[in-house]
């Protein structure tokens, strides 16, 4: 079973193995329905204009729904039109939610790694922080792992970064890609020189958080 921890494409066939990233504007319809599946929802650093205290309260409510597996994608991006202070402010609210409701964070981070690592140092979170779509070099991967983050790899990745990521901290995703998740698992297993079944962090995450 290939668990896809981050996908923007909902497909009925994948129910039970995919964490579908719900656009926050659609989340209410999903959580008010009996739609099956696993979901993540959060405020993306590009689209903070949709942020409101009311929506944050609704997110709190949705976290009580067992279909909501993770908070995200959320995080920091140097290309966002919102200044970094505002991004940190809203990201921290999602860290609070992740900690109080015991849900992992799926993190989008572009060019703001120092800020991200500082936040981890300051907040000392208990919950899992997964940096999704990681394409960084091994030096950055090492820093992230040392800071206590886990990494999620998609279709495109730096092979050396995959090599140094321990299997327990290594997640796999399709994100926006059309490449089947099984093919991405195979690519990564080849780099890790392991069996695809050994890549079980995603499976463990779902087992732990979908009860």
Interacting residues toward Zn ion by CB under 5 A: 175
Q: How far apart are CA 13 and CA 206, in angstroms?
A: 17
Q: How far is the CB of 107 from Zn ion (least distance, A)?
A: 10
Q: How far is the CB of 34 from Zn ion (least distance, A)?
A: 25
Q: How far is the CB of 133 from Zn ion (least distance, A)?
A: 6
Q: How many CB atoms lie within 10 A of CB 110?
A: 14
* CA angle, residues 29, 107, 167, in degrees to nearest 5: 115
Of the pair 77, 115, the CB lying nearest Zn ion is at 77
Q: How far apart are CA 5 and CA 107, in angstroms?
A: 12
Of the pair 130, 141, the CB lying nearest Zn ion is at 130
Residue nearest to Zn ion (CB): 175
What is the sign of the dihedral through the CA atoms of 19, 90, 44 and 78? negative
Of the pair 4, 175, the CB lying nearest Zn ion is at 175
Say if CB 69 and CB 206 are below 8 A apart: yes
Q: How far is the CB of 168 from Zn ion (least distance, A)?
A: 22
Of the pair 103, 108, the CB lying nearest Zn ion is at 108
């Amino acid at each position: 079973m290939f668990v896809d921890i981050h996908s923007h494409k909902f497909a009925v066939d994948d129910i039970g193995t995919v964490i579908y990233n719900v656009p926050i504007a659609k989340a209410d319809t999903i959580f008010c329905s009996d739609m099956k599946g696993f979901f993540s929802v959060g405020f993306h650093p590009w689209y903070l204009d949709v942020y409101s205290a009311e929506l944050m309260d609704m997110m709190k409510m949705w976290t009580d729904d067992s279909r909501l597996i993770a908070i995200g994608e959320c995080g920091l991006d140097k290309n966002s039109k919102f200044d970094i202070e505002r991004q940190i402010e809203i990201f921290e609210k999602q860290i609070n939610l992740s900690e109080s409701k015991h849900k992992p964070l799926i993190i989008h981070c572009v060019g703001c790694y120092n800020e991200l690592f500082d936040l981890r140092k300051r907040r000392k979170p208990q919950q899992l922080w997964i940096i999704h779509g990681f394409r960084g070099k091994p030096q950055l991967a090492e820093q992230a792992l040392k800071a206590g983050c886990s990494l999620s790899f998609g279709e495109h990745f730096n092979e050396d970064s995959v090599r140094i990521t321990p299997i327990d901290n290594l997640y796999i995703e399709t994100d926006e890609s059309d490449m089947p998740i099984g093919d991405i698992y195979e690519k990564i297993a080849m780099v890790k020189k392991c069996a695809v079944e050994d890549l079980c962090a995603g499976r463990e995450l779902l087992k732990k958080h979908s009860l």
